[in-house]
Copies of this chain bind each other. A is one copy, B any other.
Amino acid sequence: MYPAKPIDLSHHLSEETRCRRPNAMKALWRVANRKPGMLSLGTGDPHYSLFPMKKVQFEVASTSECLDDPVATWTGADGSDARTQWFSCSRDEPGSVPFKSVMAYGTGAGVPEAQRAVTELTQYYHAPPDHICTLTIGNMDGVTKLFRLLGNPGDHFLADEFSFNALTNAPLAHGINWVPIRIDKGGLIPSDLERVMSTWDESVHGRRPHVLYTVPSGQNPTGCTLSAERRKQIYQLAQRFDILIIEDDPYYYLQYDDSGASLSQPPPSFLSMDIEGRVLRVDSFSKVMMPGMRLGWITSSHLFHSHLIYLNESSTQHPHGFGQIFITEMMSASGWGIGGFDRWTRSLRKEYQRRRDVFLAHFEREVASTGFASADVPAAGMFVWVEVHIHLHPRYRTDFQGAEGVAARTNVPQLMDELFERCLDAGLVVMPASIFATPASPGVAKLIGGNDPIQNRLNFVRTTFAGEEVQMQPALQILGQVLTSFFTESCESQAGVFLVN
């Protein structure tokens, strides 16, 4: 654990955040409780005796220590044989979290018991220097709240040049502009970040970017994972250029062990090295439990935490009681506890690694063998980012002038659209790179590489090994066949489609 050297970072808060006031009623309650035994006619809560629920009970997979591999036990057994454990929250019995408070109105922070559950988990995996956890209602809620917390209309934020489009699209509506940073097989390239930041001209481009949004492990869509070395470099650049880092890390627990060592260590999170309080880490249970849960958390400095609470109290309020119960009981002695969670995620990692390897074996036979596409082995996550060797296509052109007239333009976007359509016609859905291209602010097109625009690098498709296992081979067979027919066509066919563009 690094020693904390927190610095004042309040200038990063958006105007909206600075204008937001704490909830006056909640402030009043704090002064009102001036002595024990106060009587109250002041609440607005329905009386808990009138809550029409007695109990909620969850049956979950067992992660008992006697199971070598709890995920294999869980998926191997048929419904009736699967080893399970139960926990519940009841109106009439004591538990890890009081029914009466978790099903009532609360503060924007949620109940202390649920906060403690995610805090202990964060401490166990990241041991952050001086941070505090804020519950969210899922990853999208967490990240988009951070965009509101930090971004003024007109601000520029930094992101991987390919990113999860639902997230990068979200803040465009309130005036955030994106500055995509180049990535390679190792993820975000620190020297490109440095180049952009050091050549940024505030008189031309506006306020210098002050927020970096990045997915450090098993990035969506590229599957890249930042090495420990790159993380350190990026953190140092963040210090040098006064950048905050939104570390969105849903695939943290799905980092695979390709070393053969029995206890491999994943690279340290940005959070774990954050001595200054400039990392806002977003965690999720979606990939290791269930996305429908919609309960996650942000770990940040106390400053950002308190403003997140005000934002919660001005929007979504505290997280739903059922999710708070689930997570608190799950992380307690009546559920998995941290030990059981760790056994589950290690076992899950093994299962996804197995699926990855099955997928890649099919990929090798059905797709790579054509010579028209290849893929790297992802060290984390759920995605294989397939590179299509588009320069081998008979209609590939480097002198193509698109409608936007950008220099050195190839016809990669048009060819890839055509490939995507052919896949659909053949009965296969893959995700085209184009929808993941982080939408660059027009004002920074030159700065981020006007001579080599991202359009030239759209020759990828995102595939997943988390779907139906029985579909892997037939799906990849279609991909191989479509590639072969697409690349071996006569060089004249369909060219007219583009000439009229």
Q: Is A40 an interface residue (CB 8 A)?
A: yes
A323 neighbours in B (Cβ, 8 Å): 320, 322
* A183 surroundings in chain B (CB, below 8 A): none
Partner-binding segment picked from A116-124, A190-198, A267-275, A290-298: A290-298
Residues of B within 8 A of A16 (CB): 173-174
Q: Bound state CA distance, A468 and B395, in angstroms? A: 78
Q: Report whether over half of chain A's contact residues are helix, strand or loop; otherwise say mixed.
A: mixed
B residues within 8 A CB of A44?
164, 220, 382-383, 464, 466
Instruction: Kindly provide the distance from the CB of A307 to the nearest chain B CB, expressed in whole angstroms.
Output: 11
Q: Does A59 contact B (CB under 8 A)?
A: yes
The answer to whether A20 has its CB under 8 Å from any CB of chain B is yes
Contacts of A464 in B (CB 8 A): 41-44
Q: Could you give, for residues 48-60 of chain A, a 1 whenever the CB lies within 8 Å of some chain B CB and a 0 otherwise?
A: 0111111111111
CB-defined contacts of A58 to chain B, threshold 8 Å: 53, 55-57
**CB atoms of A291 and B39 under 8 A apart:** no
Q: Is the CB of A106 within 8 A of B19?
A: no
In the docked arrangement, what's the CA distance between A479 and B41, Å?
A: 10
Question: A23-B169, A140-B316 are known contacts. Are A54 and B60 too (CB-CB below 8 A)?
Answer: yes
- CB <8 Å contact, B431 and A42: yes
Question: A42 contacts B141, CB within 8 Å?
Answer: no
| A461 CB to nearest B CB, Å | 8
Please pick, from B25, B428, B435, the residue contacting A39 in the complex, using a CB distance under 8 A. Answer: B428
Known A41-B428, A54-B61: A292·B320 in contact at CB below 8 Å: yes
Residues of A278-331 contacting chain B, CB below 8 A? 286-295, 313-324, 326
Across the interface, do A53 and B60 meet the contact criterion of CB distance under 8 Å?
yes
Binds B, one of A29-37, A236-244, A445-453: A29-37
Interface assignment of A94: CB less than 8 Å from any CB of chain B: no
Complex contact A287–B427 (CB within 8 A): no
- Please choose the segment from A3-11, A97-105, A408-416, A489-497 that sits at the chain B interface, where 4 or more of its residues have CB less than 8 A away: A97-105
User: Given A140-B317, A315-B144, A291 and B103 touching (CB < 8 A)?
Assistant: yes
Q: Note all chain B residues with C-beta closer than 8 A to A138.
A: 316-317, 320
Any chain B CB within 8 A of the CB of A75? yes
Binding site for B on A (CB under 8 A): 16-17, 19-21, 23-26, 28-29, 31-32, 34-35, 37-47, 49-61, 71, 74-75, 79-80, 82, 84, 91-92, 102-106, 137-138, 140-141, 144-145, 164-166, 169-170, 172-174, 220, 286-295, 313-324, 326, 344, 348, 351, 382-383, 424-425, 427-431, 435, 462-464, 466-469, 471-472, 474-476, 478-479
